[in-house]
Amino acid sequence: MAVIVFQRMSQLVTDYVLGASGSITPPAAWTMGLSSNAVSAFARNSVWSVTVSGTNINELGSTTAAAYARQTIAKSINTGSIDWGTSTFDSTLSTGGQSRAADQVTFGAFSGAPSPNGADAWVITDGTTLNAGQVYVAGDTAAERTFASGDTEKVTATIKAG
């Protein structure tokens, strides 16, 4: 599975975490959206866009939602809400690092086929407006998934820094 860390997440580390800069702050909550293009089509400076061209990220359901909506992941750890789990550390030099998984989120049940349809990646972002907001991290889904009425999609995001 391919993953990418976007420029905005890198800025959070270099400017906010390391430099205590007020020029960039983390969002009040993280949200997860589904993209109709795969991580291999993204660049570190990709942005949400209705226009599918170049390295733009196109969100599922942005033309016809069919009950699609971004799912919120709270900025907390193990509180009983949908948030992040306890981090783990693997000291293996070549493959190790610190990782943390979010609780599973569920998209749907869909009321019909969203347009665009065909989820190829999940994207950690901010806000609830489709095809808008900052993008932080993305990962490919196991395979492209198209949706019809009654379908749901369960996604568990894992972030690893090695």
CA distance 55 to 76: 31
Which tokens is 150 given?
A: 């009654």
101-104 long-range contacts, CB within 8 A, separation 24+: 101/156, 101/157, 101/158, 101/159, 102/30, 102/32, 102/73, 102/156, 102/157, 102/158, 102/159, 103/73, 103/156, 104/154, 104/155, 104/156
| Mean per-residue pLDDT, 41-61 | 91
pLDDT band at 1 (very low <50, low <70, confident <90, very high): low
**Predicted local distance difference test score (pLDDT) of residue 37:** 92
Give yes or no for residue 154 having a pLDDT over 90.
yes
The model's pTM: 0.90
User: What is d(CA 69, CA 54) in angstroms, rounded to the nearest whole number?
Assistant: 25
CA distance 96 to 119: 29
Closest CA to 41 of 62, 56, 59, 27: 56
Q: For residue 161, what pLDDT band results from cuts at 50, 70 and 90? A: confident
Tens digits of residue pLDDT in 98-148: 889 999 999 999 999 999 999 999 999 999 999 999 999 999 998 999 999
